[in-house]
Amino acid sequence: MTNNIKNYNYPDSSGHFEEFGGKYVPETLIPALNELEEHYLDQKSNKSFQNNLNNLLKYYGGRETPLYLAKRISKELGYNVWLKREDLNHTGAHKINNALGQMLLAIEMNKTRIIAETGAGQHGVATAACAAKFGLKCTVYMGEEDIERQKLNVFRMNLMGAEIIPVTSGSKTLKDATNEAIRDWVTNVENTFYIIGSSVGPHPYPMLVRDFQSVIGLETKKQFKKQSGKNLPDRLVACVGGGSNALGLFHPFINDKVKIIGVEAAGKGVATNEHAATLSKGKFGVLHGAASYMLQDDNGQVTIPYSLSAGLDYPGIGPEHSFLHKIKRVDYHSVTDEEAVNALQWLSEKEGIIPALETAHAIAYLLSEKNDIEKGEDVIINLSGRGDKDVNTIAKYLGNII
């Protein structure tokens, strides 16, 4: 482990991870962000709120999710591969953990309307489900390109009563959906709660999303010790777009002697202009209210990312990931579309588990010749979502190359 910070306690009181993070938003949103932070910090130590959330996670969300030793691929690779099965959560991914937490905050703050952005649709589905459960109006912004490649999730959101607003500007993907959601929030801040789906955006969102998702790592620690008889695994691996599923697994281990690996989307290759490898190719800048690394041209304008995976097709990354990259606590790799699809097929055939295309990027790290994993290691992968939503995309991709 490199550059471990003992007693890791970020962000600071101003919402920064050193130079990353902060609140770079219109002045009209500052009171709303301050109010959200105040309520969150109050409820974080409120036993009634935490008990309510834990009960919802258990009886509505389906937690705890299993930690599964994938014996066939472990035997093939020569080390133990453990899968944290977030794909078995209600709505099919880790997104429900954060959506439930923020929904309870919205109710505590007497908000009557919910908005969200979504790329692959999993956050939109989780938010729509929570809004339906609590009887709140829900509007989800989604890029026109993502609506086309995630038709199943669009239909699921509609079934649960959410209004889907197609975004036709820019690249018509997650970045543009986020832009429109922020515009809506600025206009309707009095009655509207914006549930951000990843560890991005202005403070306190990166912090509270990470905290709500940390249930993943907390469970994993206990499960691994009980099932393996060892205190800690050797390595953690998760895909990284905005970064919530990764931080959810990583954060409870951040001060432990464990190697941590984040895997970005290299699209058609980092040597091309068609990728979403923010930490490999990005520069410092401000996007969606926070300072972080982002893909941009020489004039500082955001460039269009690309990934076959809608959930990783984003030009930025959460500020905490930028900080962890800077201090070398997390080692970030990138995986191409082709490598991810190969990994998706491999896991499906070997273990009977079809992962989300986002998750397949993390699985692909296992097959990389550059992963330096030693024989006998214990490696935990966050299986962040299931692949039902991606079958049409994969079928089309395979049809194009066969």
Report, as residue numbers or ranges, the catalytic residues: 95, 117, 384
Taking the CA atoms of residue 113, residue 390, residue 218 and residue 67 in that order, the dihedral angle to the nearest 10 degrees is 140
Other C-beta atoms lying within 10 Å of the C-beta of residue 209: 28
Measured CA to CA, the distance from residue 345 to residue 337 in angstroms comes to: 12
DSSP 142: E
What residues contact residue 144 under an 8 Å CB cut-off, 6+ apart?
166, 167, 168, 172
At 316, which helix (H) or strand (E)? Answer: none
Count the alpha carbons within 13 Å of 390 in the hemisphere toward its beta carbon: 29
At 296, which helix (H) or strand (E)? Answer: none
Strands (DSSP E) found in 170-255 = 192-195, 235-239
Q: β-strands 137-143, 163-167: how paired?
A: parallel
Q: β-strands 331-336, 378-383: how paired?
A: unpaired
Cα dist from 25 to 75, 181, 290, whole Å: 50, 13, 8
CB distance 340 to 313 below 8 Å? no
Residue with token string 């194009």: 400
The number of helix segments (H) and strand segments (E) in the chain equals 16, 14
Biggest CA pair distance of the chain? 56
Cross-strand bridge partners of residue 264? 334
> Helices 122-134 and 95-108 sit at what angle, rounded to 10 degrees?
40
At 224, which helix (H) or strand (E)? Answer: helix 215-228
Measured CA to CA, the distance from residue 102 to residue 212 in angstroms comes to: 8
Q: β-strands 80-85, 67-69: how paired?
A: antiparallel
SS3 194: strand
Residue with token string 């969606």: 288
